[in-house]
């Protein structure tokens, strides 16, 4: 589905991002994962090379919250691989602080990585894609972007912003043959969720119509579809992948 495509995945070293990388490699894309540290990027690179020994894989650790760092990294990728066809802005952080104890610096950090970095990645990728005749930008949102959450307001606020960027850029970049969509995962079985006690998980399950937590590969399937030509007339969408969570 992605043969001949070059894809960059931020936050691609673990969790949903790593599953997206696997899914893209299974479908014959060239994949470059971005990690928060070069060490974690190298570890993911080694893992993916072991799983896909014949694939074209790269790993880098630019500062996602710095425009010049992102510009340098993506420009290098375009020069090395010949194109940048799919930009997945997946990296993000969250917090659950209540408003009375919310450290303003923590709020700024969330906005910096969850919003500014998405803008920087999209800004650089869009310029490259316009020059080459088109491409796909995919952003990781969250189901809480649609409904909010009872604490940790910075995270849903940042994902509301991601939705706004997605829908606005889709309308702006359509004329340049650049599609922009977002995926909004619900509760997903990542390493962080595996550490949550069962007594906490049980009431969560009661709010999910499908009565189970989602799997990272199920979220990655949505990223595959929206990156592929099967979604050639889909843009400006925020797609929930949440088992019909009841709010």
Q: What is the pLDDT tens value at each position of the chain, 247 positions in all?
A: 999 999 999 999 999 999 999 999 999 999 999 999 999 999 999 999 999 999 999 999 999 999 999 999 999 999 999 999 999 999 998 888 899 999 999 999 999 999 999 999 999 999 999 999 999 999 999 988 988 888 889 999 999 999 999 999 999 999 999 999 999 998 888 876 665 567 667 777 888 888 888 899 999 999 999 999 999 999 999 999 989 888 7
Q: pTM here?
A: 0.94
Task: Provide the annotated active-site residues.
Answer: 155
Q: What are phi and psi of 238, to 5 degrees?
A: -110, 105
Asked if residue 82 is part of any domain, the answer here is yes
Asked if residue 246 is part of any domain, the answer here is no
The CATH number for 177's domain is 3.40.50.720
Asked if residue 247 is part of any domain, the answer here is no
Asked if residue 181 is part of any domain, the answer here is yes
Pairing of strands 30-34, 135-140: unpaired
Work out how many domains the chain is built from and give that number. 1
Asked if residue 42 is part of any domain, the answer here is yes
Give residue 117's pLDDT: 98
Domain limits for position 122:
6-241
| 185: Cα within 13 Å, side-chain hemisphere | 23
- Between CA 230 and CA 130 the distance in angstroms is 21
For 114, other C-beta atoms within 10 Å of its C-beta total: 26
Block residue for tokens 């659950």: 96
Asked if residue 1 is part of any domain, the answer here is no
Asked if residue 61 is part of any domain, the answer here is yes
Give residue 95's pLDDT: 83
Helix (H, G, I), strand (E, B) or coil at 67: helix
Asked if residue 74 is part of any domain, the answer here is yes
């Amino acid at each position: 589905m992605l043969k001949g495509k070059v894809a960059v995945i931020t936050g691609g070293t673990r969790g949903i991002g790593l599953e997206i990388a696997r899914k893209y490699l299974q479908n014959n894309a060239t994949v470059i994962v971005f990690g928060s540290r070069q060490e974690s990027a190298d570890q993911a690179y080694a893992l993916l090379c072991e799983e896909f020994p014949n694939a074209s894989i790269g790993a880098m650790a630019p500062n996602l919250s710095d425009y010049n760092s992102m510009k340098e990294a993506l420009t290098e990728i375009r020069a090395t691989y010949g194109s940048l066809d799919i930009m997945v802005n997946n990296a993000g952080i969250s917090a659950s602080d209540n408003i009375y104890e919310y450290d303003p610096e923590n709020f700024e950090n969330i906005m910096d990585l969850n919003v500014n970095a998405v803008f920087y990645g999209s800004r650089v990728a869009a310029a490259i894609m316009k020059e080459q005749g088109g491409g796909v930008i995919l952003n990781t949102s969250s189901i809480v972007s649609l409904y909010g959450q009872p604490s940790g307001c910075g995270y849903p606020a940042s994902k509301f912003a991601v939705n706004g960027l997605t829908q606005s850029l889709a309308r702006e970049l359509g004329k340049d043959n650049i599609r922009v969509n977002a995926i909004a995962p619900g509760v997903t079985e990542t390493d962080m969720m595996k550490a949550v006690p069962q007594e906490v998980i049980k009431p969560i399950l009661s709010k999910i119509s499908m009565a189970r937590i989602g799997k990272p590969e199920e979220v990655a399937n949505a990223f595959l579809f929206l990156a592929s030509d099967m979604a050639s007339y889909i843009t400006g969408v925020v797609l929930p992948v949440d088992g019909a969570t009841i709010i």
